[in-house]
Every structure is written in structure tokens, then in C-alpha cells.
Amino acid sequence: MRDLGACRALLFTPGNRPERFAKAAAAGADAVILDLEDAVSLADKDPARSTLIGFFGEPRDNFGLRVNNIHTPAGVSDLDALVRSGVRPAFVVLPKVQSAFEVGLYSRLLDLPLLCTLESARGLEAAAEIANAGPCVQALAFGGADLAVDLRAELAWEPMLWGRARVVQAAATAGIAAIDVPHVLLDDEAGLRADAQRAKAMGFGAKLAIHPKQLGPILEIFTPTAAELERAAALVAAYEKAGGNVVEFQGKMVEGPIVKAAQRLLARAGRT
């Protein structure tokens, strides 16, 4: 199963375009999300679902599945098909999650890693409960586009800042990953890089992508550099040599929280 906490870039691919599945897997993302929700029209959901159930009949370690929200007829059909078929995607993406109850339902019936997307005011209000709903929840994702509609707000960095912060905070309460919303402008690498840098600084460990050409900048930004890893290793070594006491390192006083951040960086790089 894919470790969502180790992912840096996850690529959405429409579930009704099987000719793209292999190309998506070869594009370089840490994981591919085959989408039954927004990328598939209502008329195409039934045939797309059948295609994906057949596709997941074989082990697919790098592929997850985004189902429709459980409060829709398509979402009920998605869950029923997964339970009846017994197929096991590497993980399941739950869109527009608004309560821990929804998460518990999937956890009991599927027992698969879950990525829960928070896309509404109600979802953000219940963010901590959703994050802590059970061991199946491996990550929270910020769904900015739908949240902006729900709030009647602009989909821009400043209006969405508090929502991003809420997702990071909730993920931290459960010790799970936080994943940022896709950048919707395809020909805006500068904007993509700026958003990814700011999201990383806030505590997000990964970003969703909607096109393969977005993967390069995302992977570059969310992958620790050799210099960062070398510094983190040296910092941890100095702290341990000091017996866990505060120590001077490169002209700065280093204590527990700073060491913990360095240890987390090294652990994440090892898993990635």
C-alpha cells in the first residue's frame, strides 16, 4: 500500500480515460489518483466505475481511487461496488468530507488507507474529528475550489489562508500528512511554484496535481535537498553528542523542537 505520508506529488487522472493510466503512472508522481468524481460526468460514472473495478482487480500499489461523496447516489454506488468486488486500491480519496461518521463508514467497510478532502465550511469545522477518526486516515487534503464556492470567497491565497491553516492544524493533531489543493492554472509555473513554496512553509508535505507538467516543480519544492539533509543529520548528531542538552550548532542554540523538525525531515526523506 502507498504511504501517503511519504508522498510529495499526487496526480489526478480521469477514471473514464483508461488510455491515460499507464502514462500517468510513468509521469513521475508519487501516486496517481484515478478520479470518479469531478473529472467524470454523471452520464459516464457507471461505465467509469466498471472500468476501475476491473482495473483494480490486480494489485496497483501506485494507484488510488477518488470516489464520489457518500451523500450522493453515485457515492453510494461507488462504495457498494468496492465492497462487493473486494478490490483494494492503494488508497481511497474521500471528497467533501463533513464528518467523522463518513470516515468511520469507509473504515469499517473497506479497511483501506484514506485521504480525506476538506472542501466546505462544515468540513473545516469538523477537521480535527475527521483527522482523528481512525488509523485508516493517513492524510488530509485542502479542497480550496469548493471551499471558495461554499464561502462565497475568492479562490486566492489570502482568502483561503485560514482554511489551509485549519487543515494543517487538524492534520498535526493526528500526526498525519497535510496535502495542498491543485493549482488550477496549467500555464502558470511561477504561480504554482509560489503556492507550493508557501504551502510547504505552512506545513503541507505534498501538493495535488491536475496535469503531468505540474509534477516537476512540485517534486522539486517538496523534496529535501542534499544540503538540507546533510545539515539535519549533522544537527541531530550534535544534539545527541550533547546528551540531549541544548547545544550550539552553526552559531545558533539548538534544543528539542528544532531537533524534532530535523528528525522529521530525515525520516520523511527515508520513506520517500
Q: What is the pLDDT of residues 138-170, one digit of tens each?
A: 999 999 999 999 999 999 999 999 999 999 999
Average pLDDT of span 241-247: 80
Contacts of 54 (CB under 8 A, 6+ apart): none
Structural domain total, the chain: 2
Range of the domain at 265: 226-271
What are the tens digits of pLDDT across the range 188-231? 999 999 999 999 999 999 999 999 999 999 999 998 877 887 88
Same domain, 108 and 209: yes
Q: Cα dist. 81→44, 48, 156 in Å?
A: 15, 12, 37
Domain shared by 23 and 50, yes or no: yes
- Arithmetic mean of pLDDT, 60-87: 97
Residues 241 and 264 both lie in one domain: yes
Do 65 and 106 lie in one domain? The reply is yes
Q: 21 and 131 share a domain?
A: yes
Q: Are residues 142 and 50 in the same domain?
A: yes
Predicted confidence band at 2 (pLDDT cuts at 50, 70, 90)?
low
Crossing angle for the helix pair 100-110 and 73-85, nearest 10 degrees?
A: 30
Q: Are residues 153 and 242 in the same domain?
A: no
For residues 133 and 262, membership in a common domain is answered with: no
pTM comes to 0.88
Tens digits of per-residue pLDDT, 42-54? 999 999 999 999 9
* 262, pLDDT greater than 80: no
Instruction: Give the residue-averaged pLDDT of 88-98.
Output: 97
CATH number at residue 50: 3.20.20.60
Q: Assess whether 166 and 260 both reside in one domain.
A: no
Query: Would you state the cell numbers that stand for residue 217, as one nine-digit string?
Result: 516543480
Q: Which pLDDT score, from 0 to 100, does residue 93 have?
A: 98
Average pLDDT of 3-7?
Answer: 88
Does 182 share its domain with 202? yes
Full DSSP string of 151-185:
HT--SSHHHHHHHHHHHHHHHHHHT-EEEEPPP--
Q: Is there a single domain that holds both residue 165 and residue 253?
A: no
Residues 6+ apart with CB under 8 A from 202: 164, 165, 168
Say whether both 123 and 238 belong to one domain: no
Least confident piece of the model among 3-12, 152-161, 246-255: 246-255
